[in-house]
Chain A
Amino acid sequence: MSEQKSSDAESIPMMQKLLDNPFLLLFIGVAAPSILFLGWGLVEIFTVPMR
């Protein structure tokens, strides 16, 4: 039974494994907007030149 399970796990495609892993998704879901929106935006705001 346990052997059956492990071979099952191996045949599961990468994408399904990703979608079955809430913590990996949590990481992506926090990292993406933190970098693309917050990070990028803050860099631009803090590099506005002085008059």
Chain B
Amino acid sequence: MVNNEFRTCPDTGLKFYSSAENLLKVNAVAAVVFLLVGGFYGLLVGLTRWQAVHLLAADNFYMVLTLHGLNVLIFWMIFFEIAILYFCSSVLLGCRLATPRWAWAGFVLMVVGAVMNNVIVLQGASSVMMTSYVPMEADPLFYLSLILFAVGALIGCFVFFGTLVVAKAEKTYEGSVPLVTFGAITAAIIAVFTIVSGAIILIPTFLWSVGVVGEIDALAYRLIWWAFGHSSQQINVAAHVAVWYAIAAIVFGARPLSEKVSRTAFLMYIVFLQLASAHHLLVDPGVSANFKMFNTSYAMYLAVMASMVHGLTVPGSIEAAQRARGYSAGLFTWLRKAPWGNPVFSGMFISLVGFGFLGGITGVVMGAEQINILIHNTLYVPGHFHATVVLGSTLAFMAMSYWLVPVLFRRELVLKGIAKWQPYLFGLGMTGVSLFLMGAGTLGVPRRHWDIGFAGTGGITHEFPAAAYTMLALNGMSVILAVIGGAAFCVIMVGTILFGKKLGNQKMAEPCIVAPVTDEEYEANGGSAYAIPGTLVLAMVFFVSFALYYFINWKYLAETWGIA
């Protein structure tokens, strides 16, 4: 295979090596397919939780819930992230992809694993949820499919690292890698730890399921599985923060306020973010309070600090760029004059706000060792992670796709009118999903539960407050909104790839990337090159909400039984 062919994109000036380009395309397409599949399962879950509709029978509900988790939390995310890794290495560094054959092998393994997993779970004997906690047993092929997928993804990570080496050796860039690439490095490092942990626990579990290994310790399983399960969501965080920076650069020509601050924040992710796997073990036996407190706090909340720093510097860099370009009046002109009709920007900004206010705050609060007693395994948990993974990561990836897919496939985006509304629709739906699930969870409604009305228990019931039923109904309605938004995204993407107007070497009608703001522009604006008063106000609003919500939950906790 010849690996030195490339084209220079007429719209962006970026170099696309054909080796990387083809892999980018197939990974992005696979991602969208699994998003569609997983999203459909999500619709069924939401409509079953809505007690008045109660769509699925119990066995199908648990099967579909297993499928929903795996397809969107694992398959959609990781396929898209592999595409991000290849983009941030090969395309941003202007370098050929290292070992494209291995990259293809990895892709094939991932597809085989993901398809096989769906087929196995649909057969009905592997409705074990994404977590597949031992001693609950799935079909051996269930574990094998996940192992295949993980090996494929691990190969993708090493192709990424290999490409970094090639780029450095062949001097395709000068100095340090771009910040966005550094974010991708962070994601790839977390991915390696994630996948290795997955292998450490899933391989013995596979061997146990075929009878080679006698017993898997249930507590050790939980510990190691969560190093895989939680860290996999931290890959998403690192990747979507990289995407935020990328979109700030694409739409506004923004540069980081400070390379040092943003990169150090990513370093905090690399070292500490994965410790948060302990969030899931806070009410477990067998591990000490010291272990719980140290790990759940990411060693003194240093990774939370990193997220809050990105939360300031991403909009801050946008504000600085906008002010440099003349939108410098008052506190918020820069924000009002942002391109709210451009889904690349609106998706990114809703992702930023949703991830911070809904996902971030709730995650840290329920990750406090003792507060977790109120939250563990209630619907609050899915409520939280729909804000982080869906509103945060998925919406950021959708926003990125609106830019990347036309650039990559050289096709004009189709259905632009719908694309303009899609992030709002999806964002609104998913905000509803998170809020109402969290609301129900606060009332004690369990997660992964088919019937909170307890029909069929022979008369032993629990009366949840009427508000819980209302929350689940509102959740169902929000799911419908979100699914319409998600389906619109998939239709736009597939439509663009198949039917979008071919661009060839023609430039797009509207420029798809803004020229970087220059030093002169930054300096010209009253000399206050990086003044970001508007962002600071937003950040302070965030901080006050965070602190209030944090202490309110300690107060709730103080009202329950004594526990020691």
Contacts and interface: CB of A to CB of B under 8 A. Distances in A.
A18 B219 CA distance: 36
Interface residues of A, number: 25
Contact of B227 (A25, A26, A33, A46): A33
Contacts of B355: none
B223 A42 contact: yes
Nearest to B230: A37
Interface string B264-297: 1001001110110110010001111001001100
B286 A38 contact: no
Interface of B: 161, 164, 176-177, 182, 185-186, 188-190, 192-193, 196-197, 217, 219-220, 223-224, 227, 231, 263-264, 267, 270-272, 274-275, 277-278, 281, 285-288, 291, 294-295, 299
B193 A30 contact: yes
Contacts, number: 90
A44 B190 contact: no
Interface of A is mostly: helix
Given A37-B277, A44-B286, A44-B288, A29 B224 contact: no
Contacts of A15: 264
Contacts of A45: 217, 219-220, 223, 286-287
Contacts of B224: 38, 42
Nearest to A30: B193
Nearest to B164: A22
A11 to B, nearest CB: 13
A28 to B, nearest CB: 6
Nearest to B184: A22
Contacts of A20: 176-177
Contact of B267 (A19, A41, A44): A19
B185 A38 contact: no
Given A25-B270, A37-B227, A37-B274, A44 B189 contact: no
B161 A26 contact: yes
A22 B164 CA distance: 8
B223 A36 contact: no
Contacts of A14: none
A18 to B, nearest CB: 8
A16 B227 contact: no
A30 B287 contact: no
B223 A38 contact: yes
Contacts of B287: 41, 44-45
A30 B189 CA distance: 7
A33 B220 contact: no
B316 to A, nearest CB: 20
B189 A29 contact: yes
A29 B176 contact: no
Contacts of A26: 161, 188-189, 192
A18 B111 CA distance: 35
Contacts of A42: 220, 223-224
Given A16-B176, A22-B164, A25-B189, A32 B271 contact: yes
